[in-house]
């Protein structure tokens, strides 16, 4: 686990894992989410907000970027002149869909969790938000059993994938996230990924922020991730719509909504911890 750089300030750390979208990178997502992180820090003055921005392991070529059209005269060497990355690549030839390189993407996140954690929560955008759902599920109790169930349960022509080796490693340890925020998120499609989301459904408190004009992630795919979460997310106010497209909204009401959600989850977690500590004291056999 990482040392505590906030010890000198006397403020406890609030560690947040930030997962970028497809064709982005850690530094680019840092720039695009600056308003959000600054707003979180402003509203948690008693904490030192530490946001980590890993970059996905899949380096993309210009031709991997949706809508890319090579300009006249481009040479083969131009294929390497792009700083765009992904956590996985969706195969267009596999039915049901296959996420190529997902194991490497998850291993990259597992390494960050081990070396820089423990993290209190995670925030992701688009493909990074899909990773939010998967990683949050992997850290929950009982998820290995869910993967084992679906691995031997052929449904729709594809058995479930095995529990990711990077999260099953003997030296890997990380508690469940206290909160998760998915901007333009979606569920991994098809039966091979059911282990992330079913038996049981996702237990990690997750806020879904969606753009009503998003033309990149279909509404049905985002709703599939919402439906994978335990309880009634929409009725509980955990689904927020902004009147924009495929981006992180920086208007005050949407920043406040994320802050409010994080505060509620931290307070719930603190209350649960205090209750458990009180129960431990009550269970002690003391001579008085």
Q: Check residue 77 and give its pLDDT.
A: 53
Least confident of 40-44, 83-87, 156-160: 156-160
DSSP 178: S
> Which pair of structure tokens corresponds to residue 7?
């010890």
Length of the chain (residues): 288
Kindly report the number of other CB atoms within 10 A of residue 140's CB atom: 18
Does pLDDT of 1 surpass 60? no
Assign 212 to helix, strand or coil. Answer: coil
The pLDDT tens digits of the residues spanning 160-184 come to: 999 999 999 999 999 999 999 999 9
Residues classed as catalytic: 126, 214, 246
pLDDT digit string (tens) for 221-254?
999 999 999 999 999 999 999 999 999 999 999 9
Residue 78 has pLDDT above 60, yes or no: no
| Element of type H or E holding 207 | strand 206-211
CB-CB contact of 82 with 49 (8 Å): no
pLDDT of 156 over the 70 cut: no
φ/ψ (deg, to 5) at 273: -65, -40
Q: Does the structure show a pLDDT above 80 at 68? A: no
Task: Determine contact, residues 65/82, Cβ cutoff 8 Å.
Answer: yes
Please list, in sequence order, all residues whose beta carbon lies within 8 angstroms of the beta carbon of residue 118, skipping any fewer than 6 positions away: 1, 15, 174, 175
Which tokens hold the place of 265? 């989850």
pLDDT band at 70 (very low <50, low <70, confident <90, very high): low
pLDDT > 90 fraction of the chain, expressed in percent and rounded: 74
Fold of 13-69+76-283: Rossmann fold (3.40.50)
């Amino acid at each position: 686990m990482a040392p505590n750089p906030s010890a000198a300030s006397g403020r406890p750390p609030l560690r947040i894992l930030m997962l970028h979208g497809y064709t982005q990178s850690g530094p680019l997502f840092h720039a695009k989410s600056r308003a959000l992180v600054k707003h979180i820090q402003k509203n948690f003055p008693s904490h030192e907000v530490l946001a980590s921005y890993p970059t996905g392991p899949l380096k993309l070529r210009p031709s991997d970027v949706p809508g890319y059209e090579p300009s006249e005269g481009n040479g083969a060497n131009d294929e390497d002149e792009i700083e765009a990355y992904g956590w996985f690549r969706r195969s267009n030839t596999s039915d049901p869909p296959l996420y190529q390189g997902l194991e490497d993407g998850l291993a990259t996140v597992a390494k960050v969790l081990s070396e820089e954690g423990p993290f209190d929560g995670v925030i992701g955008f688009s493909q990074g938000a899909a990773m939010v759902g998967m990683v949050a599920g992997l850290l929950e109790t009982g998820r290995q059993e869910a993967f084992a169930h679906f691995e031997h349960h052929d449904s729709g022509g594809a058995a479930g994938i095995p529990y990711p080796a990077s999260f099953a490693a003997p030296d890997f340890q990380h508690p469940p996230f206290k909160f998760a925020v998915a901007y333009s998120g979606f569920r991994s499609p098809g039966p091979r990924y059911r282990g992330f989301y079913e038996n049981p459904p996702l237990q990690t408190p997750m806020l879904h922020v969606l753009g009503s004009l998003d033309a990149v992630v279909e509404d049905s795919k985002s709703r599939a991730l919402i439906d994978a979460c335990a309880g009634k997310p929409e009725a509980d106010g955990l689904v927020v719509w902004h009147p924009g497209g495929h981006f992180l909204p920086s208007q005050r009401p949407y920043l406040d909504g994320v802050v409010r959600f994080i505060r509620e989850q931290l307070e719930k977690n603190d209350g649960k911890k205090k209750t458990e500590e009180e129960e431990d004291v009550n269970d002690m056999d003391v001579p008085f």
